[in-house]
Structure 1
Amino acid sequence: MNHGDMPMPSPPDSMYNNSTKMSEMVMQMSFFWGKNVVVLFKGWPDHSLGMYILALILVFFLGFGVEVLSATPSMLKRGTNPVASSLSHAGIYAIRMALVYLIMLSVMSFNLGIFIVAVAGHAVGYFVANFLKLANTTRIDETTSNSDPKV
């Protein structure tokens, strides 16, 4: 008997609640515009413009947070205790990865607005993190160069 001859088994009824039909389970597979999207949780933003805007703001700040957290380990003081330092770096990394996965899942909604604010959040966060790093480096260089050598 060939696999092509075998009928496909139907999924168990426990997989779907009574109100869900197969036609409602189609996932969007190309980019689209509009507020009618599901972001991270079923029923959110629920076709509401206000909630869609809130979802955009959330995704923006997720991207922003990822980039700020990526610069944080270099800003942390290297302590004398390597275990505490490694734990703090690992904790920041874990939070950063959780945020990255949330952004990835949000972008998988294929909504162009969500995609644009995710990229914008990363870009603005990268700018702010590098600006703070450069400002801190410049401030340290100025304080060391302003000290006159004692003769």
Structure 2
Amino acid sequence: MPETMPAPPPHYGFHRNCTCMHPRKRMGMMMHMTFFWGHNAEVLFDRWPGTDLKMYAVSLAVVFAMAALVELLSACKLIGRAGSNRNFAAGILRTVLFTVRCGLSYLVMLAVMSFNGGVFLAAVGGHALGFLAFGSRVSKKSDAPGSAKEQTDLPPSGC
């Protein structure tokens, strides 16, 4: 009788569970690795918004609002400039604002990584409208060419 060779052990290397090489299936739903259009998506949370068109619209509104809020926090001037640079409370407030802005920026980035075209457009639209409302010269009342620009509380975000 010929001997049968045992099966090789499973490969436990880098690509074992890598979703970038092999799209995973979970309850019949495939994770997209390219942009797609449609309301059957997962944005930020497992099974949210799901297949409901109304919840998809809510998720787009949430992504839009988060992107606009990032722009608001980037342009806010809540802390007075007179002597507040040495104030400990002002430093703590700037740190909190910076942390919230970074967290929201990462959430918007993760939402865009759902590869849904509508989510991408909502994020870009939120950033655009937020910049128009809070960061552009259109929204500033006294930004004459010769006047000194007022600094924001936070450094500019690097996007």
Give the 5 Å matches for 1:30-41: 30-41=34-45
Query: 1-side partners of 2:79 and 2:105: how far apart?
Result: 21
Query: 2-side partners of 1:136 and 1:70: how far apart?
Result: 19
Q: CA deviation at 1:8?
A: 1.7
Give the 5 Å matches for 1:42-121: 42-72=46-76, 74=77, 76-81=79-84, 82=86, 83-121=88-126
Query: 2-side partners of 1:23 and 1:121: how far apart?
Result: 31
| Contact 1:78/1:85, CA 8 A, preserved across alignment | no
| Contact 2:137/2:143, CA 8 A, preserved across alignment | no
Q: Which runs of 5+ in 2 are unaligned?
A: 1-7, 13-23, 148-159
Match of 1:135 among 117, 131, 141: 141
* Higher normalized strand content (fraction of residues): 2
| Contact 2:112/2:119, CA 8 A, preserved across alignment | yes
Aligned residues: 124
Deviations 1:60-110 (A, max 9, x none): 0000000010001x4531253421221111111111001001101100100
| Poorly superposed stretches of 4+, deviation over 3 Å | none
TM-score, length-normalised on structure 2?
0.69
Q: Which runs of 5+ in 1 are unaligned?
A: 10-21, 142-151
Q: CA deviation at 1:6?
A: 5.2
Query: 2-side partners of 1:79 and 1:87: how far apart?
Result: 17
Query: 1-side partners of 2:44 and 2:106: how far apart?
Result: 11
Match of 2:32 among 28, 47, 64: 28
